[in-house]
Amino acid sequence: MISEAAACRWQPDRLRLLLLLDACEAADLAPVPVLRLHALAFLSNVLSPIWSVESYDGKILKRRGGPFYPELQKQLDRLVGLGLVAVHDVRYVEEEGKWRIEAKFSLMSGMADTIISDAQLFMDERSVSEFFRRLAFSISRIREPLEDLVKFDATWSDARTGVGDVIDFAEWRRANYSVFAARVFENLSAKGATIGRGDKLHLYMRFLERKWPGAAVRITR
């Protein structure tokens, strides 16, 4: 098990997933529900240009239930088998006439520390880790479930892409409306004011929260 766990250093998909879970731990979001983790992975992909980080996956199938990455789930299950990720509250739920497993995930205490520490030695992975943490902290400030809010994301909610179609935001089309929306905040700032990368992430999450149907009701109370 040790040799396989050490191999995560050389498998970008598993390493990024560990870094994403580490960000959830830092922002007190763990254990994180599986669909929330997939929503976070989607936002990390569409918002990565803000941090000058390359998107890990530039396309996704648009599902009625929200973002879901089959390969990410496969690697997540593998990390559970390696003893690097713990699974909590396993149950079955029905979604669109089909049954799927619902669970929450967190890093196994102490087991992934060496891999994550080693990743910090590399500038690219250190930048990815910093981005994930800032995004996770921005998400921790919102009140509504991320897996619901993500459906209002500018890229995901684009009406020109229907359910069952592929959303291509960083492959061939490069139609990343999420980044376009986040960068609008630069033009809305006071003259001479500087909006940092972390501020853009925070403002974008607030933007999604304001689009939530119950937001207006909450404000008037």
pLDDT single digits (tens) 73-117: 999 999 999 999 999 998 888 777 777 778 999 999 777 888 898
The per-residue pLDDT for 80 is: 93
Band of the pLDDT at 141, cuts 50, 70, 90?
very high
Residue 158: what residue type?
D
Work out the average pLDDT over 10-17.
84
Whether 11 has a pLDDT exceeding 90, the answer reads no
Band of the pLDDT at 172, cuts 50, 70, 90?
confident
Phi/psi zone of residue 168: left (φ > 0), alpha (ψ -120 to 50 degrees), beta? beta
Contact assessment for residue 26 and residue 137, using Cβ atoms and an 8 Å cutoff: yes
Angle value at C-alpha 40, between 45 and 146, nearest 5 degrees:
135
Q: Virtual CA dihedral for 207, 200, 183, 171, nearest 10 degrees?
A: -90
More confident residue, 94 or 142: 142
Work out the average pLDDT over 15-20.
95
Integer Cα distance of 13 and 68 in angstroms: 15
Per-domain boundaries in the chain: 2-220
The per-residue pLDDT for 99 is: 75
Whether 1 has a pLDDT exceeding 50, the answer reads no
CA proximity to 82, closest of 117, 46, 108 = 108
Whether 64 has a pLDDT exceeding 70, the answer reads yes
Whether 191 has a pLDDT exceeding 50, the answer reads yes
The per-residue pLDDT for 129 is: 95
The per-residue pLDDT for 221 is: 39
Integer Cα distance of 203 and 209 in angstroms: 10
Strands (E), the chain: 32-33, 59-61, 85-95, 98-107, 166-168
pTM score: 0.89
Q: Which residue has the tokens 């891999």?
A: 115
CA distances from 121 to 5, 30, 117, 126, 129 (A): 18, 25, 7, 7, 11
The per-residue pLDDT for 216 is: 46
CA distances from 51 to 34, 45, 55, 110, 203 (A): 25, 11, 10, 28, 14
CA proximity to 176, closest of 40, 19, 37, 42 = 42
